[in-house]
Amino acid sequence: MPDVFADLVGQDEAVATLRHAAAAAAAVLRAAHPVAAGSGPAEVEGQPGVDPGAGMTHAWIFTGPPGSGRSVAARAFAAALQCAYGTGCGECPGCHTTMTGTHADVRLVVPEGLSIGVGEMRALVLRAASTPSGGRWQIVIIEDADRLTEAAGNALLKAIEEPPPRTVFLLCAPSTHPDDVSVTIRSRCRVVPLRQPPAAAVAEVLVRRDGIAPDVAQWAAAAAQGHVGRARRLARDPEARQRRDAVLAVPRRLTGVGAALDAASALIEAAEAEAEASVAEADAAERAALQTALGAGGTGRGAAGAMRGAAGQLKDLEKRQKSRATRAQRDALDRALVDLAGFYRDALTMALRAPVAPVHTDTAAMAEAGAQKWDAEGALRRLEAVLECRAAIEANVKPRIAVEAMMLTLWKG
Ligand SMILES: [Zn+2]
């Protein structure tokens, strides 16, 4: 039976750190048990056999490129902290409920919109201060901590600065750059850096865990460029493969200005369609749930008051859903740009005769043709155009404008 860290692909160093911390945390609980009160991470220092420098602390940041497994690592660590044996055995109720997202003392914040608001954060911090019902730790996992609003970040900082004795904060962010995590929050946290897992390690987990055929797993792992979740989707979801094929057909289609602008429109519209499909189900379910919660019908003064409240709640919900749709669109577009960047990276490495495996094995011949036509310089200019487009969209340039500019460069070089 694999333990909770088994799915953390190619991250041996991080796993060693987390196992060590989980053991130290278990020692804290064991030490605190006889006295029952006044326990906390600070007591680690007083415990013989536990190295406080490498032990447990109450705030952590998991950093790494998208798909490297930041949230997988955070969740596995949470499970190890809640594990009855303190190891993350993968079998006890603490491990099991944490991994399936049903543990009463583990709260997961997944931002659906472009940012996590202060209201959400305050409520969370308040609940996180309560005594853990399972007797171990109160854990708050914040995915995409780089998407906290400034006010939300301040609310979180306050909690991290004055942590309740049994509360652990696990933050996930692309990096510890001040754009991603404020310097003050960073200074209170221990950082666990994750690296982009090698394709072979990703392929191995697809075969072992998901039962995917080895040749498909290898292709998907390379094409996903170290993104484990993306690799699994490519291996399993025919629609994801079709979308990727459409993106990789772009370079071939750029025959003039008109074609470049058409390609830009097609890319944007495909991202919109993909995003719409991904949020439609959740949107409808939430609307139905809200309507049920508010109750249909009813008369009298109470009902009129409830209706006024309902209008506000509905407006809130619409705002949240719109923000989530925008986010889903950007994510879909970004996935397409990463695929496209992989193609031009292949052309560049081929032009340089660099001894590295191509990202997209199935378009390697086309990349080779590009390499001959453009040389290394031309391939590099095109790769840079894709990366600049990503950066521009990240910096809030209107996606259509950024994508059109990129397509023109991809055509002209
Ligand atoms: Zn366990």
pLDDT digits (tens, 9 = 90+) for 111-155: 666 677 788 888 888 888 888 988 899 999 998 898 888 888 999
For position 53, what pLDDT does the model report? 42
Backbone angles phi, psi at 60, to 5 degrees: -135, 150
Q: How far is the CA of 14 from the centre of ligand 1 (A)?
A: 19
- What is the pTM (predicted TM-score) of this model? 0.71
pLDDT in tens, 176-227: 888 889 999 999 999 999 988 889 999 998 999 899 999 999 999 999 988 8
Question: DSSP code of 116?
Answer: B
Rounded (10°) CA dihedral 197, 60, 159, 168: 100
Token pair, residue 213, equals 């055929």
Max mean pLDDT range (194-198, 285-289, 295-299): 194-198
Q: How far apart are CA 258 and CA 276, in angstroms?
A: 27
Q: Longest Cα pair distance anywhere in the chain, in angstroms?
A: 79
Q: How far apart are CA 279 and CA 22, in angstroms?
A: 36
Q: How far is the CA of 136 from the centre of ligand 1 (A)?
A: 12
Q: How far is the CA of 78 from the centre of ligand 1 (A)?
A: 11
Q: How far is the CA of 87 from the centre of ligand 1 (A)?
A: 6
Q: How far apart are CA 234 and CA 222, in angstroms?
A: 11
Token pair, residue 370, equals 């590009």
Q: How far is the CA of 293 from the centre of ligand 1 (A)?
A: 37
Measuring CA to CA, which residue among 16, 11, 62 is closest to residue 193?
Answer: 62
Backbone angles phi, psi at 149, to 5 degrees: -75, 165
Measuring CA to CA, which residue among 3, 5, 49 is closest to residue 28?
Answer: 49
